[in-house]
């Protein structure tokens, strides 16, 4: 994959980065701020487009696809966990999780899956509260439950512990490990060494390449 900064100077953010992740594997990508970690994750999740190179998700090429096709691929294959949670402030924890199950194209049984995830992730008591009434760890678990509703093959997590205390961060990392062990491909990007302890592989993003 190659990506060039569209701003002044045209600096290359990613230059020939190569990555292959198998089902059941958790891969952690480290790097300093500004090295392109989030850009790489957005490319893998079909949120951004590469200037050159190929990207395949679950055996399907996604580079060169039209926007409508990419939206469908994201809905079907990818669960994205954002650093800042991106929960809808006017909806309760349960409603945030259920939201993904009610979108067009949701997989059959997504509504039941959403309720099972709430119970499994220990969110039953938090389910009726608004995001601002939840702890950081609870908000992140709600975000993970939302990402899993459509049973994605790939889960991508951008700095999943960046806004959490040590205990909550540990719990979230163990949850991501369990998600991988269930047969999903999981990729996290982080600048925190502690966040790599449960990974099968740890890669460093340096000068646009993964080492």
Q: pLDDT tens-digit profile of 58-88?
A: 888 888 888 888 888 888 889 999 888 889 9
CB 132 within 8 A of CB 92: no
Mean pLDDT for all residues in the chain = 83
Q: Which residue has the higher pLDDT, 91 or 8?
A: 91
CA 108 to chain centre: 22
Q: Which pLDDT score is estimated for 61?
A: 84
Q: Which pLDDT score is estimated for 13?
A: 64
Among residues 57, 56, 51, 21, the alpha carbon closest in space to that of 39 is found at 51
Q: Which pLDDT score is estimated for 1?
A: 43
**pLDDT band (50, 70, 90) for residue 111:** confident
Q: Which pLDDT score is estimated for 187?
A: 95
CB 170 within 8 A of CB 139: no
Q: Which pLDDT score is estimated for 89?
A: 92
Helix (H) / strand (E) containing 205? strand 201-206
Note the CATH architecture for domain 14-88+136-210.
3-Layer(aba) Sandwich (3.40)
Two tokens, residue 20: 């292959």
Q: CA-CA distance, 110 to 96, in Å (whole number)? A: 13
Q: Which pLDDT score is estimated for 7?
A: 46
Q: Give me the residue spans of the domains in the chain.
A: 14-88+136-210
pTM listed for this prediction? 0.86
Q: CA-CA distance, 44 to 15, in Å (whole number)? A: 15
29: region left, alpha or beta (phi > 0 left; psi from -120 to 50 alpha): beta
């Amino acid at each position: 994959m190659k990506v060039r900064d569209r701003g002044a100077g045209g600096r290359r953010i990613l230059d020939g980065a190569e990555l292959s992740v198998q089902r059941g594997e958790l891969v952690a990508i480290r790097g300093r701020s500004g090295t392109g970690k989030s850009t790489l994750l957005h490319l893998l999740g079909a949120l951004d487009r590469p200037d050159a190179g190929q990207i395949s998700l679950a055996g399907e090429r996604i580079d060169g696809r039209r926007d409508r096709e990419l939206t469908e691929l994201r809905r079907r294959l990818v669960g994205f966990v954002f650093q800042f949670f991106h929960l809808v402030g006017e909806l309760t924890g349960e409603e945030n999780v259920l939201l993904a199950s009610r979108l067009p194209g949701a997989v059959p049984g997504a509504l039941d899956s959403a309720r099972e995830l709430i119970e499994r992730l220990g969110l039953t008591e938090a389910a009726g509260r608004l995001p601002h009434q939840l702890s950081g760890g609870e908000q992140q678990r709600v975000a993970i439950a939302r990402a899993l509703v459509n049973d994605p093959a790939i889960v991508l997590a951008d700095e999943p512990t960046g806004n959490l205390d040590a205990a909550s961060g540990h719990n979230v990392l163990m949850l991501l490990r369990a998600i991988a062990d269930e047969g999903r491909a999981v990729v996290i990007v982080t600048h925190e060494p502690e966040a790599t302890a449960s990974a099968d592989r740890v890669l460093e993003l340096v000068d646009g390449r993964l080492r």
